[in-house]
């Protein structure tokens, strides 16, 4: 089955009235009014000013996706190490099996470097027999990782696999990690099968 998805399918939905904030460098954020308690807490929530940078000056990427995982209660996690060569090919060629009615959630480990990441989102379009379903998850804004916080992990909202004979079968998906500035950090195809049992 081919997944005929155009780039427009993977464009994140915009929140009405939301405007992307003015981009600032790390130094500019550090110099913002330090007497403002709420601003100080906001900067701390981004991890600014804690530890030494671990950004690689030879690696221009702003976001490095380290792994993707699937958590299912009562079963060992399935984790794809994205630092291994060919990991994305494996995702596309070897479908996950999900038991109908099972509750599961995805998780991603990643590193941010060089500058603040603003509004990272995960967008997924699942296709089966010509029908498409789009899902979007806000991941958030993050400062570059440091020795105090060498990586981030985001666990997505839990989902429940559909049940019943009509929903069993093979599904194909295309996913993208993007941000407020429409930068794409990772785009990949993958597949899963919904079965009566594991």
Look up the CATH number of the domain holding residue 134: 2.70.50.30
Asked if pLDDT for residue 5 goes beyond 80, the answer is no
> What's the pTM value of the predicted model, to 2 decimals?
0.77
**Which among 106, 120, 108, 102 is positioned nearest to 152, based on CA atoms?**
108
In a domain, 12, yes or no: no
Domain count, the chain: 1
**End-to-end Cα distance, the chain:** 23
Cα 108 to Cα 16: distance, rounded to the nearest angstrom: 27
Q: pLDDT by residue (tens digit) across 128-180?
A: 988 999 999 999 999 999 999 999 999 999 999 999 999 999 999 999 999 98
Quote the pLDDT of residue 73. 82
Asked if pLDDT for residue 58 goes beyond 60, the answer is yes
- Cβ within 8 Å of residue 102, ≥6 positions away: 72, 73, 160, 161
In a domain, 142, yes or no: yes
Domain assignment of residue 152, given as a range: 51-195
Asked if pLDDT for residue 2 goes beyond 70, the answer is no
In a domain, 82, yes or no: yes
Q: 55-68 burial string, b = 16+ CB within 10 Å, else e?
A: beeeeeebbbbebb
In a domain, 41, yes or no: no
In a domain, 17, yes or no: no
In a domain, 8, yes or no: no
In a domain, 1, yes or no: no
Pairing mode of beta strands 152-155, 131-142: unpaired
In a domain, 189, yes or no: yes
Asked if pLDDT for residue 49 goes beyond 60, the answer is no
């Amino acid at each position: 089955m081919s997944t005929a998805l155009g780039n427009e399918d993977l464009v994140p939905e915009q929140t009405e009235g939301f405007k992307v904030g003015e981009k600032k460098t790390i130094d500019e954020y550090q110099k913002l009014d330090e007497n403002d308690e709420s601003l100080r807490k906001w900067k701390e929530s981004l991890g600014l000013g804690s530890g030494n940078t671990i950004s690689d000056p030879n690696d221009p990427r702003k976001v490095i996706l380290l792994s993707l995982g699937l958590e299912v209660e009562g079963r060992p996690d399935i984790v794809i190490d994205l630092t291994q060569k060919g990991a994305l090919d494996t995702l596309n060629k070897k479908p996950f099996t999900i038991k109908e009615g099972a509750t599961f959630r995805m998780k991603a480990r990643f590193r941010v470097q060089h500058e603040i990441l603003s509004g990272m989102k995960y967008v997924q379009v699942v296709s089966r027999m010509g029908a498409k379903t789009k899902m979007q998850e806000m991941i958030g804004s993050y400062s570059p990782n440091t020795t105090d916080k060498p990586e981030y992990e985001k666990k997505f909202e839990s989902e429940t696999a559909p049940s019943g004979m009509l929903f069993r079968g093979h599904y194909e998906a295309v996913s993208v990690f993007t941000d407020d500035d429409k930068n794409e950090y990772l785009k990949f195809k993958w597949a899963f099968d919904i079965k009566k049992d594991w």
